[in-house]
Structure formats: C-alpha cells, structure tokens
Structure 1
Amino acid sequence: MKASQETIQVRKGEELNKDRLAAFITGHLPEVPEGVLQIKQFGAGHSNLTYLLRIGNWEAVLRRPPLGPVAPKAHDMQRECKILASLHPFYPAAPKPYIFSDDISIVGSNFFIMERRKGIVVDTEFPDNITYTPAIGKRISKLMVEKLAELHQIDYTKTDLVTMSKPDGFMERQVGGWTKRYERAKTEEIPGVDELTNWLKLNIPTSENPAIIHYDYKMNNAMYSEDFTTLEGLFDWEMTTVGDPLADVGVALVYWMESTDPEMIKNGFGKPPVTIKEGFFTREEFMNEYAKKSGKDLSNMHFYLTFAYFKLAVICQQIYYRYHQGQTNDERFRHLNHYVASLIEYARSYSKGVVK
C-alpha cells in the first residue's frame, strides 16, 4: 500500500536499543505478551521519529524527538502524551497514550508509547487498491472540515489544557515566537523576511474565542476508514494548545494545496498532496464549509494565511538547519532552503492581497 502509514526498515543512525526498550515494555506494560520485540519505522515524518513496535499480536507506536539539538520547548514528548490522555475521552480520533518515559538510557531521548490505530492514511497518492473518484475527494474534504470544527467546539476548560495553555495574547506570542525561531535557525539571508514579520506584528486581528487547536492539521496526520466516512485517527499533537481557532484553519489551509498553486509551493516536500485532485475542496470552499459548520467570521483569513505560510517556512528552516549543521543525514532535506524562500515570498503575496 503506497501511503504514509507504510513502515520501513529503521533508517541508519535512527535505531533504537531493542534490548533496553523490550525490558522497559515488559516492566511497565503488563498486558504485553511474551515474545521478541520487532521495530519498524514510519518513514513519512519530517520531524519527530515514530516507530511501530510489535511483540506477538501486540502493537503500539513509539514517538521520540528528532536527533540532535532541538529548538527550546519543541518536541516535548511529555506534553504531547499529556494532551492525548486529556483529549482522548472528548475526541476519539486522538490515540490513547500508554506511558511516557524521561529515561534517556532506553532509546537515547525521552519518549512515549501509544496505541496503534489502523486505517488508511493518504498523503501524495491513494493506496493502490483504491480507485479514486471526485466523490471520494469531496467526502474527505467534508470530513476534514467537520472534524476540525468539532475539535474547536470542545470545552477546553474540562481538559488538562486549561492549565497547559495561555489563550490571552495568543497571536501576539505566536508572531513574536515564530519570528525568534526563524532568527535562531537562519542559515542565509532571504529577501523580504523583515518586511513580512513587521507586517504580521502590525496587523494582528482581534482573536476569536479561544479553542483547542491541533495546529498541524493535515492529510497525512489523519487516518480514515476504508470508505472515508470516519476519522479513525488524528496524529502529531505536539503543537496542540488553546488559542485562536482561525490560526488552526490557516495552518490546515497551507497544507491544503490546489492544482493552480505555484510549482515550488506544491512540490516543496516532493510530490504535492492529493488535495490537488479534482473533487477536493479548494481553499475557498474549505473556508466556506468551515464558516458554515462553526458559525465563525472568516473575514480576516488573509492574515491567518500569511502567518501560516510564515510559520511553515520557519518549521522547514528549523529542519533545514539540522541538515545544514550535520545533525541529520536525511537527504530529503538537502534543498529545503529553497522551499523556505518560496514560502516566505508566498506569505508576502498573501499579506499584500495578491493571492486570493
């Protein structure tokens, strides 16, 4: 099956200590049967490292931070584990976590283990056994909007996120924080960055009522049932917080590419996502459907889209910085700096109202 849930042999340099991990699992998860631990890696991620663990008929997923130094407060496995434990009862698509460990002697960093979900993950293409039709694209589009709006409707005060987040001044902190992250990870001068960050600081709108936001909501973080009518799983909750829900919509739309987008924007990570296919919502249709489902005013979405493209540029720059510094040998990242420059320019186009 050609989809991003596909596992690969563990990449060189990203191996786990099998004996220590097996002993940890045996000592802390009594429901696991006796047997030999088998480890595969989920190969699609660009940031945290994710592994499939199997002992007999038991399966689970392990997540740990990327190799090398990481940005302050980034890749916080304990926080993500706590978020999942808190959200799982309210939002079933969030996988149930089993255990967190800060003992770095086991796999070389802190980590957590969570349940494995099974279903279809779609990224740049559909699995070979599925004949794509525009009706499938429309069905997925509606489901993604519906589940995003549903997440935003959860009462965050009933979850642990109430003590883990500071909704007041959210967008001000976001603009300032991601600007600083960019400066720390900068490897070369890109024209227009200062102009862009100044525009963002001067144009922050009054935020919507705060809500739980996933903040990395995209196709390859979602898992569907075989008929694409239910969301079987939603992954990568490390950026989740309580903040402006329209910032979450902006991030989702940045990953929701269209066939008419510039080639460098579509192909920055390789192949474009399946959202470019006929049948999938356009970004405008996504926004209209979300406004209908949520009742929110989206008149300031140009700001949130500008910020979201900048935020993605910073994330890519942080990944490229690790490659540039020799902290990862993953060749997928060799030319990521060119994608960063394209994202910066595209963000500037949104800020000037050039892109609709």
Structure 2
Amino acid sequence: MIADAELAPVRADDQLDWAALEAWLRAAIADLPPAPMQVGQFARGHANLTYLITFADRQLVLRRPPHGAIAPGAHDMGREYRVLAKLWQAWPRAPRAHALCEDESVIGARFVVQDYRAGGEVFFKARPASMEGLPHFGERITRALAEALADLHKVDYAAIGLADFGRPEGYLERQLAGWHDRWRRVASAQPVPGLEDLGERLARDVPRPLLATIVHNDFKLDNCQFRPGEPDRVVAVFDWDMATIGDPLVDVGIALDYWPLTHGNPALGLPPGDAFKRHYAAQMGIDVAAIAWYEAFAAWRSGIATQQMYHRFVSGQTSDARMQAVGRRVVEFAARGKAALDAA
C-alpha cells in the first residue's frame, strides 16, 4: 500500500488464481464495475504479499500471508480485517477493510481486502521529490510520526467495538513467549547466540505497562503515508496484521528500533530518536523513562522476524533472493538490543 511508483508486475512466485479471486471479489463486494480485473504487486514488502486490484476506477488492496509455513499468530489477516473494519471511524488514518476471505482454496491463503489510499507519499531512504527544499524537513516528519502514534493510542477502542480485540493483562509476557516460540521454529537456519541471550535478559526484567491502548505492532516510517509536499501530518498507516490491545510503548520501541536506519541519512535529515520520544511523551503526557527495555524488545523481535524470512529461503519456501540477503542482518539486531539494555 505504497505510492504507484512502487507497483510492479506480479512476481512469478506470487501469481494467484486470478479467475477464482475475481469471482470471489464480485460476490463479496457490492457494486464492483464490470470492467476486467487488473492486478499489480507492491514490490517493497518482504513479508505479506500485497496487491493492487483494479476494476476500472475502483481500486482495492489485497493482502495475504507469504508462502510457506507460518508461525502461529503471524500474518493474521483476520486480525487486520477486524481492526480496519472499525478503526477508520475513529482514526481516519486507517484504511477501511471491506472483506475477509477465510476460504484458503480461493488463492491458497486467507486474505483481506481494503481501501487503496491513492496519491500519497511513502518513503524510507530518500526524500520524495514533492518535499525537496522544505525547511526543517526531518523535524517535521518526526513530529508528524509522534503525533500520529499518540493519536492512535488515544483512541477509545472499547467505544468502537474493539474491547475484546486483545488481552492487556500479561501482554508483554505473552509477546515474549510467542516470539521465543517463533525463534525455536527458525533457529536452525543459522545460529545467533546473541539473540538467545537477549531474549533471556528481556524475560528477567519485564516492565509494568502504564496503560492499555490499540497497538499497531509495526509502526515505522515506511508504513506511513503523507500527502505530496506535506510533511507535517501522516494521512494513512498500513500493515495491521499484528495489531492488538496492549502496552503502547511497544509501538514506541518499534519505531525507535527502525530509527537508526533513517537517522543519519542526509537525504532525510531526521534528528536522533530522542526527539521522537520527547514529542510522543509530550503528546501522551506519560513518562517514557523505561523505554530502553522496549527498544531492546523491538530489536530482538526484529531479529527473529528477519530470521523467519531467511528461513523461508534456505528451506526452499521462496526463491526471492532478497530473503537470502536479510539473513546477514540478524546479528545486527541482536547487538542493537544488547546495546539498548547496556545503556539503560
């Protein structure tokens, strides 16, 4: 769900049963134009497969899990559908979900269909041309990200029918257990002792959450969309398959885990992650002094998620060469998490 420039023909490995899909969509979604279905693929993503489905002037996004074995609770299209079917009413940055297919015989997996947000800017390594020359660009983007995340965390999730969307009590402990289980399933792809050690340190000192909110669980710059030329407000946020109700500082830790990939890039000019923390804390009116644990947790789970992608490649579940390259980064995440805890 990114800018049109990121669309590409569907990769050979990611072809689906297009006739079966079109028949299902026409039965599930009212008033689709009679024009033939056209399909493109959003090429940037490494995990879920994301397609742009077009019927004349009607454009939709289809998301499904990657090929191969899926860890329990991962790539949950039902979860994404449930949150996006309701959240758009209270938080307009969320695309509206229109349909969920739980019949895996249609395209080989469950999938969700949602709005396509056209005409926006999604970026990560380079400043979009529409924002070249704007003053204080990095600071403005940082404030916009902090404001968007704080606004999400202020949503009254019970009022929009999501009171039972997650279980805040014991949330961090379940997260640790779930990600450790994922690691056990893919650890054989390559040994990373530092990641094991990091998980043990995290489990010994679990913080007590300050409050419970909707948690996106993958909040980062390139899951956010801006209007061309307008760096002061995030207008859409994508990729909700891990969303739940839990500790909002998990989202802050995840954003900070990605921050080193963008901070220091002269094309973006983002300030250090401390600026993001300060803006978020001011918006929420809470203390983020314990954030080091959440930064380390985010690095640990990023390392595990990266190992999952690498495992798909070495086990022959995908021929996407990008998955082979990401395997080298697992050690980096382990070191980043250790550094966060050591500095606390």
Task: Output one character per residue of 1:193-241: Cα deviation in whole Å (capped at 9) or x when no partner.
Answer: 3322221111111111111111101111111112223322110011111
- With over 3 angstroms needed to count, the CA separation of the structure-2 counterparts of 1:134 and 1:340, relative to structure 1, is farther
**Distance in 2 between residues matched to 1:192 and 1:17, nearest whole Å:** 42
User: Which residues of structure 1 form unaligned runs of 5+?
Assistant: 258-265, 267-271
Structure 1 counterpart of 2:141: 140
**Distance in 2 between residues matched to 1:135 and 1:211, nearest whole Å:** 31
**Distance in 1 between residues matched to 2:202 and 2:215, nearest whole Å:** 20
- Output the amino acid matched with 1:113: V
Structure 2 counterpart of 1:192: 194
The correspondence for 2:222, drawn from 217, 220, 223, is: 220
* Contact 2:213/2:246 (<8 A) preserved: yes
* Contact 2:157/2:214 (<8 A) preserved: yes
Structure 1 counterpart of 2:128: 127
**Distance in 2 between residues matched to 1:274 and 1:66, nearest whole Å:** 32
- Output the amino acid matched with 1:239: M
Q: Give the drift of 1:5.
A: 6.0
* Contact 1:88/1:95 (<8 A) preserved: yes
- The CA RMSD measured in Å over matched residues stands at 1.9
Q: Percentage identity across aligned positions?
A: 33
**Distance in 2 between residues matched to 1:290 and 1:164, nearest whole Å:** 24
Structure 2 counterpart of 1:34: 34
Structure 1 counterpart of 2:166: 165
**Distance in 2 between residues matched to 1:255 and 1:320, nearest whole Å:** 19
* Contact 1:122/1:274 (<8 A) preserved: no
**Distance in 1 between residues matched to 2:254 and 2:20, nearest whole Å:** 38
Secondary structure of 1:254's partner?
helix
- Output the amino acid matched with 2:127: F
- With over 3 angstroms needed to count, the CA separation of the structure-2 counterparts of 1:194 and 1:79, relative to structure 1, is closer
Q: Give the drift of 1:274.
A: 8.4
Q: Give the drift of 1:21.
A: 1.6
- Output the amino acid matched with 1:338: R
Secondary structure of 1:38's partner?
strand
- Output the amino acid matched with 1:298: V
* Contact 1:137/1:277 (<8 A) preserved: no
**Distance in 2 between residues matched to 1:162 and 1:237, nearest whole Å:** 17
- Output the amino acid matched with 1:204: V
Q: Give the drift of 1:188.
A: 2.1
The correspondence for 2:278, drawn from 276, 283, 288, is: 288
**Distance in 2 between residues matched to 1:336 and 1:208, nearest whole Å:** 34
**Distance in 1 between residues matched to 2:268 and 2:11, nearest whole Å:** 35
**Distance in 2 between residues matched to 1:111 and 1:123, nearest whole Å:** 26
- With over 3 angstroms needed to count, the CA separation of the structure-2 counterparts of 1:147 and 1:275, relative to structure 1, is farther
- Output the amino acid matched with 2:221: M
* Contact 1:4/1:121 (<8 A) preserved: no
Correspondences of 1:269-288 after superposition (within 5 Å):
277=267, 279-288=269-278
Q: Does 1:319 align with 2:316?
A: no
Q: Could you state the TM-score of these two structures normalised by the residue count of structure 1?
A: 0.90
**Distance in 1 between residues matched to 2:219 and 2:271, nearest whole Å:** 15
- Output the amino acid matched with 2:105: S
**Distance in 1 between residues matched to 2:133 and 2:174, nearest whole Å:** 42
**Distance in 1 between residues matched to 2:152 and 2:176, nearest whole Å:** 23
Q: Give the drift of 1:339.
A: 0.3
User: Which residues of structure 2 form unaligned runs of 5+?
Assistant: none
- Output the amino acid matched with 1:208: L
Q: Could you state the TM-score of these two structures normalised by the residue count of structure 2?
A: 0.93
- Output the amino acid matched with 1:286: F
Structure 2 counterpart of 1:328: 318
